[in-house]
């Protein structure tokens, strides 16, 4: 039976969204009305999401890590210092972008792009530490039932809207078998009459090939699932 991994799937979704944002920010046409405000909002939403994610990890995972593997917890705390500085720098540039004069906008766009990539660089190192240091330490020093309890406590803390957002942000970045297993569990836990709507909503976040594969793996006709 696979071990409970508290980081892998959500981190894959985060990587996909960060990479997409970097590409789209770099290529954005700032001459278009509202483009600067849109890109600013997207960058601010990203740092807000990453901060909230760090709070969730601290609440549900890292207390156990500090108890069982304090050296690993200390390493993650050091990563947070560098991350916080990168978040602040990105936020400052993002907030300034919409008010930038047209002639200064190309340089401001690129400066924001560089600040975003600095966040991505720092955050990738942080994810690597969690996945290659913290998670192995938890596997070594905590029981499978304790890890499963951590995951269950986090899921219980999420509102239906938050849980849906978690799935939408994560599933497109996962391999088909993992995506299907998570979706099967979500459908099984859905209130009566809500499963079809949940599946249709999640399917809307997937590419055509991903969507077709999910329906096939679940054994659900696509036309029925999208009603």
Q: pLDDT-based confidence at 1, cuts 50/70/90?
A: low
Q: In a 10 Å sphere around its CB, with 0-12 CB exposed, 13-18 middle and 19+ buried, how is residue 70 labelled?
A: exposed
Alpha-carbon gap, residue 179 to 175, rounded angstroms: 6
Q: What is the pLDDT of residue 223?
A: 59
Residues with Cβ < 8 Å from 190, sequence gap 6 or more?
198
CATH topology for 8-152 is 1.20.120
Predicted TM-score (pTM) above 0.95:
no
Residues with Cβ < 8 Å from 157, sequence gap 6 or more?
60
The average pLDDT across 199-218 equals: 95
Residue 76, pLDDT above cutoff 70: yes
Q: How far is CA 28 from CA 37, 44, 118, 203, 205, in A?
A: 12, 16, 19, 27, 22
Give the start-to-end residue ranges of the domains of the chain.
8-152, 159-225
Q: What is the pLDDT of residue 80?
A: 80
């Amino acid at each position: 039976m696979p071990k409970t991994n508290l980081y892998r799937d959500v981190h894959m979704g985060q990587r996909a969204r960060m990479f997409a944002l970097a590409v789209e920010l770099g290529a954005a046409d700032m001459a278009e009305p509202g483009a600067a405000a849109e890109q600013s909002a997207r960058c601010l939403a990203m740092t807000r999401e990453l901060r909230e994610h760090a709070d969730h990890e601290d609440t549900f995972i890292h207390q156990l890590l500090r108890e069982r593997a304090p050296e690993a917890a200390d390493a993650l705390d050091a990563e947070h210092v560098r991350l916080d500085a990168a978040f602040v720098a990105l936020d400052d540039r993002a907030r300034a972008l919409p008010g930038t004069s047209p002639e200064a906008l190309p340089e401001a766009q690129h400066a924001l792009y560089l600040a975003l990539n600095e966040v991505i660089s720092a955050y990738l190192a942080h994810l690597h530490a969690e996945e290659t240091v913290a998670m192995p330490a938890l596997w070594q020093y905590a029981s499978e039932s304790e890890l499963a309890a951590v995951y269950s406590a986090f899921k219980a803390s999420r509102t239906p809207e938050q849980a849906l957002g978690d799935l939408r942000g994560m599933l497109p970045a996962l391999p088909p078998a993992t995506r299907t297993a998570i979706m099967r569990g979500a459908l099984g836990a859905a209130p009566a009459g809500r499963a079809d709507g949940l599946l249709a909503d999640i399917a809307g976040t997937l590419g055509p090939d991903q969507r077709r594969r999910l329906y096939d793996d679940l054994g659900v006709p696509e036309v029925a699932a999208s009603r």
